[in-house]
Amino acid sequence: MIGQVLKLIIERMGLDKMQDTYKHGLPFSESLDKNIVELDNRVMLKKASMLVIDGAVGLGKTTLAVHCADRVNALHGVDPIKLELKDHPQLAMGGADFLKKMRICWELNLPVIIYDEAGDFTKRGAISRFNSMLNRTFETYRGFKILVILLLPRFYVLDSHLFDLEVPRGLIHVVDRNEKYADFSGYSLVSMNWIRYWVDKLPKAIRYKAYDKVIPNIRGHSLDLDSVRSKQLDRISTREKIEILKKAEVKADGLLSYKDLADKTSRSMIWVKKKVAEMKMKESRKIGRVKYFKEDVLNRLVDVIEGND
């Protein structure tokens, strides 16, 4: 009986809910908020700016990025970023998605975009492609007044050219997380450059210790998203990860898309699709709208080409 009464009191007072914000009204430390406001001011002056959030897998980088983006939106009188499964223009997963959504954000006058690198780095040569894409983006989009929040495991894989252009202005390094909050350290561009110096000096196996060599400019905590948005984010994140896994499976099985077949046969995709339809060859798997075929389809196409030649 007493237990039931206590439970009712706790529920009525909202004590059973996880804390959504701190006393100052934000879900992260004020020290970070000050820097977000300064970065936003800088972007409004058309100075290309990027906030990098790095840290190990599952520590809450995306959650923190969403909080930061919500704050930037609020500074411009815009609602918190959308996290619907099919409508999240300010959260880009992967390079191609980022470029597309950068343009959408500019068209919709949205002041911030999150680029979650996701599994971009799993492919060979991906880091250099990623870096050249970022360089091109910032050279082109600096006048667009959009703050980019970049998420990746370790910031020091970024190209030195970006640092020469002084585009990354700060780093939030997520250190750890428990069920209630995540801990982070914040570094200015000056501090990031010192970390990069130590990364070069230390043996490869202990490069992560470079962060310990530099005193952070700020330290802070951030809370989780509310349960609704947290679930929305999980769905987006899970979907992306499943897509990545499926694509990895496809590659492991040696399956080929229309584009792969076109590349390997040095023919156009229109020709490949036409021939596949004529020969009534069925796809082995379909992921999203992309069809994947077994290698013998390639062999049959090559036979057709050689027969024609």
Question: If binding means CB under 8 A, how many residues of this protein chain bind another protein?
Answer: 17
CB of 151 to another protein, least distance (A): 18
Decide whether 75 or 218 has the Cβ nearer to another protein. Answer: 218
Residue with tokens 């906030």: 51
Stretch that binds another protein, among 2-10, 34-42, 89-97, 283-291 (CB under 8 A): 34-42
The residues near 170 (Cβ < 8 Å, ≥ 6 apart) are 35, 39, 51, 52, 186, 187, 188, 189, 192, 217
Contact with another protein (CB under 8 A): which of 73, 135, 217, 230?
217
Contact with another protein (CB under 8 A): which of 61, 67, 154, 169?
169
Stretch that binds another protein, among 33-41, 80-88, 262-270, 286-294 (CB under 8 A): 33-41
Distance between start and end Cα atoms, the chain: 88
Alpha-helical regions (H) of the chain = 2-13, 30-44, 61-75, 95-107, 126-141, 160-164, 189-201, 227-252, 258-265, 269-278, 295-308
Contact with another protein (CB under 8 A): which of 137, 191, 232, 257?
191
The verdict on 196 binding another protein (CB under 8 A) reads: no
CB of 165 to another protein, least distance (A): 11
The verdict on 186 binding another protein (CB under 8 A) reads: yes
Distance CA 112, CA 129 (A): 23
Closest CA to 57 of 138, 152, 130, 164: 152
The verdict on 165 binding another protein (CB under 8 A) reads: no
Decide whether 160 or 299 has the Cβ nearer to another protein. Answer: 160
Distance CA 68, CA 26 (A): 10
182, 59 contact by CB (below 8 A)? yes
CB of 169 to another protein, least distance (A): 6
The verdict on 170 binding another protein (CB under 8 A) reads: yes
CB of 149 to another protein, least distance (A): 14
Decide whether 35 or 90 has the Cβ nearer to another protein. Answer: 35
Contact with another protein (CB under 8 A): which of 2, 5, 13, 190?
190
CB of 148 to another protein, least distance (A): 15
Contact with another protein (CB under 8 A): which of 44, 75, 127, 218?
218
Residue with tokens 């069920």: 179
Residue type, 242: I
DSSP code, position 18 = P
The residues near 93 (Cβ < 8 Å, ≥ 6 apart) are 116, 118, 236, 237, 240
CB of 85 to another protein, least distance (A): 34
DSSP code, position 293 = B
Residues in touch with another protein (CB under 8 A): 31, 34-35, 38-39, 42, 166, 169-170, 186-191, 217-218
